[in-house]
């Protein structure tokens, strides 16, 4: 049998898996709801406040603050609760909160609009680790990495389509219709999740234990697992690097290229296009490459892309470097998720997610907050090169896992 035929059989088997098929379809509707939410609320607040930067920044606070405040708590509860029921109820409650916002907008203050983002962001901290648990419980190990590749491809697709859909809905139908679309999308996702296999009796039924003890056990589990603790260091390096560059992309356009700031949209489009193509390429790569190799490859490519963008003074070269970074970005996400699943017992999936994700977000926010000050004192070239060095450091952190294959299929390698 040829390799191509084998790939077709594998992809066919992937979509025959009930959990993968259901979660991918659910994520499709969730992404519609999330992107309509993000762009409709952003445009609405800009319009209502006449571009008040404080009000606009509060949208990001409502979106990202729950990751710090609820990620680990949500992960601990996800380990306690039944995953299917948790995911369904999170989507239902998100839809309910959005319809409450819709009613309040009709009869009260527009400021309640922030509530829609806040509640759905909080609930996602409970739902996302439950989805990871379902992968661990119901997806054969040989399908996990390819399943994650398909999952990431959906996200990459919405990097391009999401802003277009969100902007179109708001500009043509207004905020009330946009909020209704959000609520309906979450309800569709909840209905689709009902097709998941029933939660087994063992799922969510554990010996009585205090939440504090379970959190402590989670930290000890990550600390004692060599792959997971190294992955935490890699997360931190990547977060610091991305936080340095994310707010400063516009200066590549205005300073290095001497173009109007509106050209930033082409930089974002190049990255999104790279992610879409990269998602498809990573599906093929994931059949052969270990997850830690995919992660290291993605981080190394991003480092090269950062250096390319920093030295370029030509638009097409900058766009090519950004496209190159986007092309390998799915390798990072897929490598991370697969490593977590392969090196974590089912009972700890939620807490491991809840520890590692804030490491990334926290380090990213730290350097994002410093980026403006650094830009005032150093050149954009130096800052982008520093970000590339941080990514290179992340690759070096993973080096021990390359030597030992770094995968222990469920119980991280003990230090």
In this predicted model, what pLDDT tens digit does every residue of 30-53 receive, in sequence order?
Answer: 999 988 888 888 788 878 877 676
pLDDT the model gives residue 201 = 58
Residue 414 has φ and ψ, to the nearest 5°, of: -80, 140
Structure tokens at 307: 């250096």
- Residue owning tokens 């191509």: 4
Q: Kindly indicate the confidence band of residue 299, based on its pLDDT and cuts at 50, 70 and 90.
A: very high
Structure tokens at 258: 């001497």
pLDDT the model gives residue 4 = 41
pLDDT the model gives residue 251 = 83
Q: Kindly indicate the confidence band of residue 332, based on its pLDDT and cuts at 50, 70 and 90.
A: confident
**280-296: average pLDDT:** 80
**165-189: average pLDDT:** 90
Q: Kindly indicate the confidence band of residue 411, based on its pLDDT and cuts at 50, 70 and 90.
A: very low
pLDDT the model gives residue 302 = 92
Q: Cβ distance 400 to 286 under 8 Å?
A: no
Please state, in angstroms and rounded to a whole number, the distance separating the CA atoms of residues 55 and 174: 19
Give the H or E element holding residue 103.
Answer: helix 83-107
pTM for the complete prediction?
0.72
Q: Which residue has the higher pLDDT, 110 or 115?
A: 115
49-53, 232-236, 326-330: least confident range: 49-53
Phi-psi domain of 258 (left: phi exceeds 0; alpha: psi -120 through 50; beta: other): left
8-12, 202-206, 241-245, 266-270: least confident range: 202-206
Q: Cβ distance 169 to 181 under 8 Å?
A: yes
pLDDT the model gives residue 306 = 93
Mean predicted lDDT score pLDDT of the chain: 81
The residues near 393 (Cβ < 8 Å, ≥ 6 apart) are 237
- Domains of the chain are 13-193 (1.20.1250.20), 211-403 (1.20.1250.20)
User: Does 334 have pLDDT greater than 50?
Assistant: yes
Is the four-CA dihedral 225, 228, 229, 230 of positive or negative sign? positive
Please state, in angstroms and rounded to a whole number, the distance separating the CA atoms of residues 168 and 173: 8
pLDDT the model gives residue 88 = 93
User: Does 91 have pLDDT greater than 80?
Assistant: yes
User: Does 185 have pLDDT greater than 90?
Assistant: yes
177-181, 277-281, 282-286: least confident range: 282-286
If we measure between CA atoms, which residue out of 151, 165, 150, 156 comes closest to residue 272? 156
51-55, 202-206, 324-328: least confident range: 202-206
pLDDT the model gives residue 291 = 86
User: Does 345 have pLDDT greater than 80?
Assistant: yes
Q: Which residue has the higher pLDDT, 54 or 406?
A: 54
Q: Which residue has the higher pLDDT, 323 or 157?
A: 323
**112-124: average pLDDT:** 81
The residues near 293 (Cβ < 8 Å, ≥ 6 apart) are 335, 402
Q: Which residue has the higher pLDDT, 202 or 243?
A: 243
């Amino acid at each position: 049998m040829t390799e191509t035929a084998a790939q077709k059989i594998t992809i066919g088997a992937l979509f025959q898996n009930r959990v993968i098929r259901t979660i991918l379809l659910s994520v499709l509707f969730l992404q519609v709801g999330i992107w309509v939410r993000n762009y409709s609320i952003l445009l609405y607040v800009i319009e209502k406040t006449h571009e008040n930067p404080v009000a606009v920044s509060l949208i990001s606070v409502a979106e990202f603050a729950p990751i710090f405040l609820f990620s680990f708590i949500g992960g601990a509860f996800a380990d306690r609760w039944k995953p299917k029921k948790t995911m369904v109820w999170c989507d239902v409650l998100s839809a309910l909160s959005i319809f409450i916002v819709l009613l309040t907008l009709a009869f009260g203050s527009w400021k309640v609009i922030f509530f829609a983002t806040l509640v759905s962001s909080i609930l996602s901290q409970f739902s996302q680790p439950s989805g990871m648990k379902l992968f661990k419980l119901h997806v054969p190990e040989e399908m996990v990495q390819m399943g994650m590749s398909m999952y990431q491809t959906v996200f990459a697709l919405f990097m391009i389509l999401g802003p277009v859909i969100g902007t179109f809905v708001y500009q043509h139908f207004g905020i009330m219709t946009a909020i209704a679309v959000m609520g309906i999308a979450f309800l569709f996702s909840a209905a689709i999740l009902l097709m998941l296999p029933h939660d087994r009796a063992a799922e969510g039924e554990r010996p009585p234990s205090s939440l504090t003890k379970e959190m402590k056990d989670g930290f000890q589990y990550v600390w004692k697992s060599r792959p997971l603790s190294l992955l935490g260091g890699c997360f931190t390096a990547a977060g610091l690097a991305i936080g340095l560059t994310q707010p400063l992309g516009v200066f590549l356009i205005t300073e290095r290229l001497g173009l109007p700031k509106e050209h930033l949209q082409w930089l974002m489009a190049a990255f999104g296009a790279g992610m879409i193509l990269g998602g498809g390429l990573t599906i093929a790569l994931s059949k052969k490459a270990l997850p830690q190799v995919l992660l290291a490859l993605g981080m190394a490519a991003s480092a090269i892309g950062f250096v390319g963008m920093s030295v370029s003074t030509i638009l097409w070269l900058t766009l090519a470097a950004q496209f190159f970074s986007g092309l390998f970005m799915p390798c990072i996400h897929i490598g991370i998720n697969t490593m977590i699943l392969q090196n974590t017992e089912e009972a700890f999936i939620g807490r491991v997610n809840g520890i590692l994700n804030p490491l990334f977000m926290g380090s990213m926010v730290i350097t994002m907050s410093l980026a403006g000050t650094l830009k005032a004192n150093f050149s954009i070239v130096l800052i982008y090169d520093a970000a590339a060095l941080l990514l290179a450091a992340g690759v070096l952190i993973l080096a021990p896992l390359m030597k030992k294959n770094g995968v222990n299929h469920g119980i991280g390698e003990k230090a």
